[in-house]
Amino acid sequence: MIAMKNNFDFMMPSVNFFGPGVIEKIGERAQLLNMKKVLLVTDSFLRNLENGPVKQTEASLKAAGVEYVFFDGVEPNPKIRNVMDGAAIYRDSLCDSIITIGGGSVHDCGKGIGIVLTNGDDVTKLAGIETLKNPLPPLMAVNTTAGTASEITRHAVLTNEETHLKFVVVSWRNVPLVSFNDPLLMLDVPTKLTAATGMDALCHCVESYVSENRNPITDAQAEKGIKLIGQYLRRAVANGHDLEARTNMAYASLLAGMAFNNADLGYVHAMAHQLGGQYDAPHGVCCAVLMPTVERWNMIASPERFADIAVFLGENIEGLGKMEATEKGIAALERISEDVGIPVNIKAIGANPKDFDLMADNALK
């Protein structure tokens, strides 16, 4: 087994409001943060959704007398052009703060906008770890998918539309000041997206649990996250209006985010980013498709950890040899993915063998 680190630092999300109905508090929080003119970052679908997350945020901001303007041009796997368009509106409208409303794409785009406003226009130069010299404008995040946890993480994942490369700006300065996880805002997430985002959260837990950078806190978070996802993801996919399942998936996603924010991720994410950048494929699907293969390759380095995962997912490993128990853990992960309807191989997301060498090189970077 890889030795647990004795000394570690642990980054916390600053303030997270969690639970059904917490979105009502956003106007009051905007006032407390002295937000006078907010750039609301979202996509056009969410902006127009009747009684959806954006309309509810608007109602709370209006009640608190907080002014706002929209940038609703975020694309999935957000592109540099989205960041630059949002930053232009922020500047032209003399905004002083940002609120992101959506899933990982929207939060990452909002972070990207904040980054270019205070750290320089060429965001590609800031790819890497702790590259940001200046704080972002005040940023709050209203999360609407149970998957990425970008509302609390230090990562901003962006795509260079010219090279089709995803890159990540990782900095403690990226962590939103306040975030909201209100499961009532997630009830209408479509089935396929529920499955994909839930598998992304599961992958965050698994990669954190086997990471060399794990610590006792991330272990506890990853373990609980895996248990919750094993128990509730199928239910949330089967019935999106199952509030108990949605609440527990939101909780699992939050735990997973805290875990990987500190323990870091592994080859599943390194490779998933290549598929997402190259084919504009949904991130959670990329992770889910790759996870069993990558973890079968990984398992020899950490068999006890995968045996633990089997137990977290309710498997009985009594009397099994070490590698049999390990395989049971990975098979259990694979079964969840199949049960929620994730494709079984990367062909289904358009992967073409001619791109493999390039993507492999980029993943290793």
- Give just the sign of the alpha carbon dihedral 205, 209, 214, 220: positive
Which one, 145 or 326, has the nearer CB to ligand NAD? 145
Q: Which long-range contacts (CB under 8 A, 24 or more apart) does 117-120 make?
A: 117/87, 117/90, 117/91
Q: How far is CA 115 from the centre of its chain?
A: 18
Which one, 230 or 284, has the nearer CB to ligand NAD? 284
Q: How far is the CB of 284 from ligand NAD (least distance, A)?
A: 5
Which one, 14 or 34, has the nearer CB to ligand NAD? 14
Q: How far is the CB of 303 from ligand NAD (least distance, A)?
A: 27
Q: How far is the CB of 119 from ligand NAD (least distance, A)?
A: 17
Q: How far is the CB of 50 from ligand NAD (least distance, A)?
A: 12
Q: What is the DSSP string of 50-103?
A: TTSHHHHHHHHHHHTT-EEEEE-BPPSS-BHHHHHHHHHHHHHTT--EEEEEES
Residues in the chain: 365
Point out which residues pair with 360 in neighbouring strands: none
Which one, 178 or 325, has the nearer CB to ligand NAD? 178
Of 55, 77, 81, nearest to 68 by C-alpha is 55
Please, are residues 25 and 174 in contact by the beta-carbon 8 Å criterion? no
Q: How far is the CB of 126 from ligand NAD (least distance, A)?
A: 14
48 to 45, 56, 62, 100: CA distances (angstroms): 5, 11, 17, 15
Which one, 260 or 306, has the nearer CB to ligand NAD? 260
Q: How far is the CB of 197 from ligand NAD (least distance, A)?
A: 5
Which one, 193 or 332, has the nearer CB to ligand NAD? 193
Q: How far is the CB of 328 from ligand NAD (least distance, A)?
A: 27
Q: From CA 119, how far away is CA 174, in angstroms rounded?
A: 12
Binding stretches for ligand NAD (CB under 6 A) = 43, 45-46, 53, 76-77, 102-106, 108, 144-145, 147-150, 153, 155-157, 185-186, 188-189, 193, 197, 200, 276, 283-284
Which one, 102 or 137, has the nearer CB to ligand NAD? 102
* Per-residue tokens: 299: 């398992």
Q: How far is the CB of 75 from ligand NAD (least distance, A)?
A: 8
Which one, 285 or 332, has the nearer CB to ligand NAD? 285
Q: Outline where DSSP puts E strands in 134-199.
A: 139-143, 155-160, 165-170, 178-181
Sheet holding 128-129, edge to edge: 128-129, 165-170, 155-160
SS3 assignment, position 351: coil
What DSSP element (H or E) covers 98?
strand 97-102
Q: From CA 240, how far away is CA 132, in angstroms rounded?
A: 39
* Per-residue tokens: 322: 């070490």
